[in-house]
Amino acid sequence: MDSLLGKRIHINGIVQGVGFRPFVFGLAERHVLHGWVRNTSAGVDIEVDGAPNALDAFVAALTTEAPPLAQIDEITAVTIPANGFTTFEIVHSEAIRGAFQPISPDVSICDDCLRELFDPNDHRYRYPFINCTNCGPRFTIIQDIPYDRPFTTMAPFEMCDNCRREYEDPHDRRFHAQPVACPVCGPQVWLETVNGNQLPVYSEQLTVHPSPITDHRLLITDYAEDAIQHARRLLTEGKIVAVKGLGGFHLACDALNETAVTTLRARKLRRDKPFALMMPDIETIEQHCFVNEAERDLLLSRERPIVLLYRRPESLIATAVAPNQNTIGVMLPYTPLHYLLLEKSSIVNVAARRFAHQSSILVMTSGNLSEEPIAYTNDEARSRLANLADAFLLHNRDIHTRCDDSVMRVVGSRSPVAEQTTHQQPATSYQLPLRRSRGYAPFPVKLPWDMPPTLAAGAELKNTFCITNGRYAFLSHHIGDMENYETLQSFEQGVAHFERLFRVTPELIAYDMHP
């Protein structure tokens, strides 16, 4: 014991919901250190015993080898006498009164989970909610800190033995992954439509009432696969499907079907504002749009925003998608459900193959009437979108905070389109956020000085707000135009949620005097 020392370490930043505790566990194991790590409302605390050289290497690696989603803003390490620990453990989280720390935004599905999603030998094969410590929902499901399953909308789903085994295995990618689930124990998908009778699971007959729905009946209840394939068939037939996603509902239709897009535009009361598109892969995007390297990187980033791109003249995308525009907003799939909806290949399951229809470019516009906030609960969607959609692809993982897609544009010092045929990288370019929301919020701006607790309420139109606490300025998700009561309610709910998450009561309020 005489040759051993201890370290007491505290880490601030985005270190919860990003696999940081499992990372610390593995690091301690590698350096033969004993002690514990835990989440607190203020960040992550660690106490370890070990040889002095090993302790120094451990502290250095906390920063240099941190998980890809982590951001360390501050780390303090104090040398203390060894405590005599004999193991290394992840201990229960601790809520500290008044303490806070940043929260991870939602993250698009990682390559490992995407590979497992389409691996017939994996027990999460084609499961629409596959995730791990490196991807999946974060901000939209968290109800309070510290970030642990009981404080998220995953709390009602008790882990099965297999998921529990992965969750407790320090060498598994899902070690302490809070949203971990599988088809046995996790959220499920189903399809609802106006048809008054529940259809047989593998029936080839599927009809939808020609007018928007006003009543709801379960269409598919037994298998997520059947619900997804029925939804794909509806989209191919020109129907409009409300799809519950990560931060709310999308209204989806076939982007190559002029009638379907025109119908959606009429139902949404959106005369000419462009619709966003989702395409299955970067190759499909390049068939329809000019894409330079900076735009490609942005499309493929883990934030997966909508990116404004110049449309190719030969593209067959419906003109009603973006009337009188030479640019369109495009994004790649960012959830497992999206990948299953836009899948190009045939379904492996023989029974489900009978419904394997393809509509590989979808309009994915916000699930709302023009100027209203996006619908984000099942009941709200059934009510507010009843005159907009022909069917509803629903699931039972609740969304706690609605969050629209982010919109970005790459701008530079020279025109990105040359001779209408090539799309060049600007000499200098930067990313211009037109709407900073999913994938970015509530990522904070680190200030060079302490701020008194302040609420910057934003403007009346295209509203977002900001709350400061200490040296952090927490920027909200997109709220929208504050010209109706529903959006005002969304604003009030968002402010209350930020006050709770970041343990702050504003002492100052600032707001824009212009619209």
pLDDT at 93: 80
For residue 90, what is the enclosing H or E element?
strand 88-90
What is the Cα–Cα distance from 166 to 172, expressed in whole angstroms?
A: 6
In order, the DSSP letters of 258-318 are HHHHHHHHHHHT-SSPPPEEE-SSHHHHHHHEE--HHHHHHHHSTT--EEEEEEPTT--S-
Q: Give 132-177 pLDDT, tens digit per residue.
A: 999 999 999 999 988 889 999 999 999 999 999 999 998 899 988 9
pLDDT at 347: 46
pLDDT at 358: 57
Coil vs helix vs strand at 472: strand
Asked if residues 220 and 351 have their Cβ atoms less than 8 Å apart, the reply is no
Residue 15, both tokens? 């270190």
Q: What is the DSSP letter of 404?
A: P
- Percent over 70 (pLDDT), the chain: 88
Q: What is the DSSP letter of 2?
A: T
Distance (Å) of CA 326 to CA 184, 281, 290, 312, 420: 47, 21, 11, 8, 11
496 band by pLDDT with thresholds 50, 70 and 90: very high
427 band by pLDDT with thresholds 50, 70 and 90: low
| Residues 6+ positions from 4 with CB-CB distance below 8 Å | 49, 50, 51, 82
Asked if residues 166 and 428 have their Cβ atoms less than 8 Å apart, the reply is no
- Percent over 90 (pLDDT), the chain: 73
Edge-to-edge strand list for the sheet holding 43-50? 71-81, 5-14, 43-50, 34-40, 88-90
Of 13-27, 300-314, 391-405, the one with minimum mean pLDDT is 13-27
| Residues 6+ positions from 64 with CB-CB distance below 8 Å | none
Residue 367, both tokens? 């699930």
- Label the pairing between strands 217-220 and 189-193: antiparallel
Alpha helices (H) in 385-507, listed in sequence order: 485-501
Burial (Cβ within 10 Å: 0-12, 13-18, ≥19) of residue 358: middle
Q: Give 271-308 pLDDT, tens digit per residue.
A: 899 999 999 999 999 999 999 999 999 999 999 999 99
208 band by pLDDT with thresholds 50, 70 and 90: very low
* Residue 137: cis peptide before it, omega within 30 degrees of 0: no
Task: Report pTM.
Answer: 0.87
Q: Is the pLDDT of residue 182 over 60?
A: yes
Which of 496-503's residues contact partners 24+ apart within 8 Å by CB, and which partners? 497/400, 497/401, 498/442, 498/465, 498/467, 498/474, 499/467, 500/144, 501/100, 501/103, 501/142, 501/144, 501/145, 501/442, 502/100, 502/467, 502/469, 502/472, 502/474, 503/41, 503/98, 503/99, 503/100, 503/469
Q: Give 20-62 pLDDT, tens digit per residue.
A: 988 999 999 999 999 999 988 888 999 999 999 999 999 999 9
What is the Cα–Cα distance from 309 to 274, expressed in whole angstroms?
A: 12
Domains of the chain, first to last:
5-90 (3.30.70.100), 189-395 (3.90.870.40), 442-515 (3.30.420.360)
What is the Cα–Cα distance from 490 to 509, expressed in whole angstroms?
A: 18
Asked if residues 468 and 447 have their Cβ atoms less than 8 Å apart, the reply is yes
The overall average pLDDT reported for the chain is 88
Of 64-78, 175-189, 408-422, the one with minimum mean pLDDT is 408-422
pLDDT at 429: 78
* Residue 179: cis peptide before it, omega within 30 degrees of 0: no
| Residues 6+ positions from 213 with CB-CB distance below 8 Å | 193, 194, 386, 389, 390, 391
